Amino acid sequence: MTTITDPPKESFRLSQLIYDTRYRSLTFQAIAAMVLALSIWYLGNNLIQNLRAAGLNISFDFLRDTANYDISQRLIEYDSQSSHSRAAIVGVLNTLLVAFLACITATIFGVIAGVLRLSNNWLVRKLMAFYVEIFRNIPVLIWIIIIFTIMTAVLPGPRAFRGDEPEASMVLDAFAFTNRGIYTPGPVWGPGSMVVVATFIASIFGIVAYRKYATNLLYATGRLLPTFWPSVGLFFLPTILMYFIMGKPIGLDIPELTGFNFSGGIKIGGPLIALWFALSIYTGAFIAENVRAGIQAVSKGQTEAAGALGLRPGRVMNLVVLPQALRVIIPPLISNYLNITKNSSLAIAVGYADITATLGGITLNQTGRAIECVLLLMLFYLTISLLISAFMNVYNSSIKLKER
Amino acid sequence: MSDTHAQTVAFVRETTIPESPPPAAETGAIKWLRQNLFATPANSLLTVAALYVIWVVLSGSLPWIFGGLWTTTSLAECREILQGRTGACFSVLSERWNQLLYGFKYPADQYWRPNLAFLLLFFAAAPVLFFDLPRKMLIFTGLYPFLAYWLIWGGSLLVPIVALLGFLGGALVYQRFIKTSFAAGFFGGIAAAFVIWTVAGAIIPENASDNAMLSSVPSRDLGGFMLNMMLGVTCVSLSLPIGIALALGRQSDMPLIKWVCVVFIEFIRGVPLITLLFVASVMLSYFFPPESTVDLFLRVVIMITMFSSAYIAEVIRGGLAALPKGQYEGADSLGLDYPQAMQLIILPQALKISIPGIVNVAVGLFKDTTLVSVISMFDLVGMIRGPILASTEWNGVYWELLGFAALLFFVVCYGISQYSQWLERRLATDHR
């Protein structure tokens, strides 16, 4: 009879740290930790010595100092007596503004171009391929400069709108395209206008509730309610009715030429337009490729199967093709949005006062606080991109194919 | 009963009718037009709209391009000759050609050096890009960085030679010790290279570059499209190995190494390149030893390399993740250790999958080199916006200059992406 004994317990030998795969990773990590700590110590030491030699210290007190510079494009109250931190907040809002606008228009351009690239029409297909290749292969900085040049060097000055036979005239008598920016009519909120706005918001909720009801009814009883026209009606009718009931409280402030410049309405500055439009068409070309890839990723069998089930083309698109295509399109779309936000930092090239131009540009040059400014700048962009990628992870896990 | 047949049927054709040509609308160009341009009313509308767009663009640009002048000396003279006629003033390109390509400080009698370096770049890149070429050409590729450095910066020939010797010594030590273990070879090689550099660096005399064969050109004199090319080529080639290392580190089982790589990659990918260039221009010099002076070009190369290596690492990680698990297990079951498995099994396949992504990063990076104009380096865009548009002769020549810059970048980037598509087809080993 044989007895099975445990193999003799080996005592730990030092050589195991190198030759035994169980312990080797510990050795490597210890070495890596040491190298890391040494380089951090080395860089930090250099930093301290350099700062001491230059008579500098790291402090964020400068944020409370008076900024002493003006920002023409701003969303909140700001003047040259405000603090640097206020200027930075103006910059943050401007960055978010241009990123938001560019995301919307880039999506529109991209979807149109992407769908048209799959068109049956040879000429349109080639034209869109041309658009995509041209815009993807030329740096966005050059596009921004080109559009900014159109804005400043090609468009007429406000002076050209003067006189009996002006060289330039306003489009539809409401929009003025000048080299100082584009002037558009702006709303004037009279008393009672809030009621109209509230009605509008309520009707949006009404549309959502109606569509939900229609879907539930369809699933419960199989009865199909019309949704399109009721939605359109709900969207417009209550608001327009309320508008007249309240006695037209919302007016239009149309820009007018007074003296040497336009006044009234809303002014959209040239730098904002240049940045917005350039980012949109540049990123639109990338989104077009994503859209095309997404639609092509849905196999033809899916469309044919949906047709075989008796679905009409509109429903095939809505219920079968789009949900599957969106699964492919949306993740790269969101990373394109992230790219727009990061590329909006090129605002500094055309003088748009985003966070890079205020905090990383003028504030940095005025105060000389390079390290603090650049750190804050990075922190801001890092926060934005981490937020967006966190959102993307949530989205990705929610659309993941539920497999058993 | 043949007569009944003859009575009921008046005529029986006994030969086949010769094939008649298809109707005119169903053949040749007309059919193509009908199918591709005018299939439905909506389609016809689109065609008309597209034709209108093409006409607007061409009627605006063609007279301007073909009416262009190439030989005037200033915009005023150009306008005088044109007298209100549409026409481009391309003479800014011919007059400022050297500035656009080399910047405004590079010594004019030395232009042949960057030209030669550019020409040799094709010979150096050819064996890397096209596998059919003889492998011996790779020797020249290895020598090229040192040669190009010497050609462009000039100065003492000893500097590139010592750098080359360091790499050679490292490679020799690596070859010698790789048989015992990968770690010994790898770290031994690095140590050997550093020893050679330190020793030789001490030996090179201070005034070695005074009477050098090629006069020394400082980095701040570099500019123009040459600067874009140099930044693009240097940073892409440096970031490939770093990117591979980062991707492997991110896949590693060792938590410390994994997290260092994750933090680095996510940090770099989370911030725009501009902020990294700000770091290069105003912040990075604080992290070097107090007495050292690292010039802006090198600092920018460091930051752009970090930037692109993070992106390349993510692309390669995608390639690593796309490999089926069986490949890793297969390598293990053959008894290969980690470096061998990576070199022989995993990386060749993963890199092949990642080629399109790597090329995308390379194209994006090359386009992003224009951003250095923001930190007042005079690359192509910086030259156009700075010295050329600010000069009295050419103040106001926007389209010719910007169009030229756009064209240069388009040619290079489109060329690279066409190459990548060719390579993908070439490397496709699956059977279809």
Q: What is the 3-state secondary structure (H, E, C) of B335-393?
A: CCCHHHHHHHHHHHHHHHHHHHHHHHHHHHHHHHHHHHHHHCCCEHHHHHHHHHHHCCC
Q: What angle do CA B237, B242, B244 make, to 5 degrees?
A: 100
Averaged pLDDT for residues A25-50: 90
Lowest mean pLDDT among A94-103, B143-152, B291-300, B405-414: B291-300
The residue assigned the tokens 């007895």 is A3
Contacts of A29 in chain B (CB under 8 A): 254-257
**DSSP H helical segments within A137-192, as ranges?**
140-149
pLDDT of the residue at B405 = 93
Give φ, ψ of A256 to 5 degrees: -130, 150
Rounded distance, CA B248 to CA B257, Å? 10
Flag the least confident range among A133-147, B77-91, B379-393. B77-91
Cα separation, A125 vs A132, whole angstroms: 11
pLDDT in tens, A76-91: 888 878 888 888 888 8
B chain contacts of residue A367, beta-carbon cutoff 8 Å: none
Contact A141 B381 (CB under 8 A): yes
Q: What's the gap in Å between the CA of A161 and the closest CA on chain B?
A: 22
CA distance A189 to A186: 10
- Report the residue of B35, B284, B286 to disrupt the A interface, i.e. the one with the largest count of A CBs within 10 Å: B286
Distances (CA, A) of B43 to A119, A120, B35: 9, 8, 10
- Which residues does chain A have within 8 Å of residue B341's beta carbon, measured at their own beta carbons? none
**Architecture label for domain A84-162+269-399:** Orthogonal Bundle (1.10)
Give pTM, 2 decimals.
0.86
Residue of A nearest to B277 (CA): A374
Query: CA torsion, points B390, B396, B401, B402, in degrees to nearest 10?
Result: 100
> Are A123 and B363 a contacting pair at CB < 8 A?
no
The verdict on a CB contact (< 8 Å) between A50 and B253 is no
Q: Report the SS3 class of residue B69.
A: strand
- Cβ–Cβ gap A382/B254 under 8 Å: no
Question: What's the gap in Å between the CA of B297 and the closest CA on chain A?
Answer: 19
Instruction: State whether A145 and B270 contact (CB < 8 Å).
Output: no
Domain ranges (residues) in chain A: 84-162+269-399
**What's the order of all strands across the beta sheet hosting A181-184?**
A176-178, A181-184, A266-269
List, in order of start, the domains of chain B with CATH numbers. Answer: 109-154 (no CATH), 156-213 (no CATH), 218-432 (1.10.3720.10)
Contacts of A146 in chain B (CB under 8 A): 398, 402, 406
Provide the pLDDT for residue A3: 65
Banded pLDDT at B264 (limits 50, 70, 90): very high
pLDDT digits (tens, 9 = 90+) for B142-167: 899 999 998 888 888 888 888 898 89
**How far, rounded to the nearest angstrom, does the alpha carbon of residue B156 sit from its chain's CA centroid?**
30
Provide the pLDDT for residue B259: 92
Question: Given a cut of 80, is residue A275 above it in pLDDT?
Answer: yes
Q: Do A142 and B406 make contact, defined as CB atoms within 8 angstroms? A: yes
In contact, A185 and A254? CB cutoff 8 Å? yes
Q: What pLDDT, in 10s, does the model give residues B370-385?
A: 999 988 889 899 998 8
**CB nearest A122 (choices: B36, B285, B381):** B36
- B209 — phi, psi (to 5°)? -90, 10
User: Does pLDDT of A253 surpass 80?
Assistant: no
- What burial letters (b/e) apply to B83-116, b meaning 16+ CB within 10 Å? eeeebbbbbbbebbeebbbbbbbbeeebeebbee
pLDDT value at residue A1: 54
- pLDDT in the model for residue B286: 86
Q: In the predicted model, is pLDDT for residue B234 greater than 90?
A: yes
- Compute the distance between CA of residue A176 and CA of residue A186 in angstroms, rounded to an integer: 13
The two structure tokens encoding residue A40: 């951090």
Reported as a pLDDT band with limits 50, 70 and 90, residue B3 is low
Amino acid at B120: L
- Phi and psi for A184 in degrees, rounded to 5? -125, 160
- Per the DSSP assignment, residues forming a β-bridge with A266 are A184
Which of B278, B371, B399 minimises the CB distance to A141?
B371
Confidence of residue B210 (pLDDT cuts 50, 70, 90): low
| Close Cβ partners of A223 (under 8 Å, ≥ 6 residues apart) | A217
* Res. A17 pLDDT band, cuts 50 70 90: confident
Find chain B residues with C-beta within 8 A of A348's C-beta: 274, 374
Residue of B nearest to A341 (CA): B272
Q: Tell me the nearest-neighbour CA distance from A365 into chain B, angstroms.
A: 10
- B90 vs A178, higher pLDDT: B90
What average pLDDT does chain B have? 86
Whether B253 shows a pLDDT value over 80: the answer reads yes
Give the residue from A18, A19, A145, A275 with the most B CB atoms within 10 Å of its CB, the best one to mutate. Answer: A145
Cβ of A121 and B409 within 8 Å? Answer: no
From chain B, pick out residues whose CB is under 8 angstroms from the CB of A381. Answer: 270-272, 275
Nearest to residue B235, comparing CAs of B147, B173, B310? B310
* Mean pLDDT value across residues B255-282: 91
Q: Which of A195-204, B160-169, B217-226, B405-414 has the highest mean pLDDT?
A: B405-414
- C-alpha distance from B264 to closest chain A C-alpha (Å): 12
Closest-approach residue (CA) in chain B for A379: B271
Residue A386, pLDDT > 60, answer yes
A123-146 pLDDT, tens digit each: 888 999 999 999 999 999 999 999
Are B260 and A32 in contact (CB < 8 Å)? yes
Best of B45, B56, B256, B269 to substitute, by most chain A Cβ atoms within 10 angstroms, is B256
Q: Is B206 exposed, middle or buried (0-12, 13-18, 19+ CB in 10 A)?
A: exposed
Q: Determine the residue type at A376.
A: L
Cβ–Cβ below 8 Å for B368 and A139? yes
Residue B262 CA to residue B259 CA, distance in Å, equals 5
**CB within 8 Å: A370 and B282:** yes
Q: How many CA atoms lie within 13 A of B403 on its CB side?
A: 12
Tokens of B65: 């391009």
B280: left (phi over 0), alpha (psi -120 to 50) or beta: alpha
Task: Please name the helix (run of DSSP H) or strand (run of DSSP E) that holds residue B133, with its range, or none.
Answer: none
Average pLDDT over residues A92-116: 92
Range with the lowest mean pLDDT among A9-18, A274-283, B241-250, B327-336?
A9-18
CA dist A326 and A321 (Å) reads 9
The first and second tokens of residue A88, run together, are 């930075």
Mind listing the pLDDT tens digit for each residue in B17-53?
Answer: 888 888 877 777 888 888 888 878 888 888 899 999 9
DSSP-derived 3-state class of residue B294: coil
Q: Compute the nearest-CA separation of B396 from chain A (Å).
A: 8
* Residue B89 confidence class, pLDDT cut points 50, 70, 90: confident
Inter-residue contact A366 to A358 (CB < 8 Å):
no
B-interface mutation test, from A15, A39, A137, A336, most B Cβ less than 10 A away = A137
For the question of an ipTM over 0.90, the answer is no
Tokens 């199989």 belong to A222
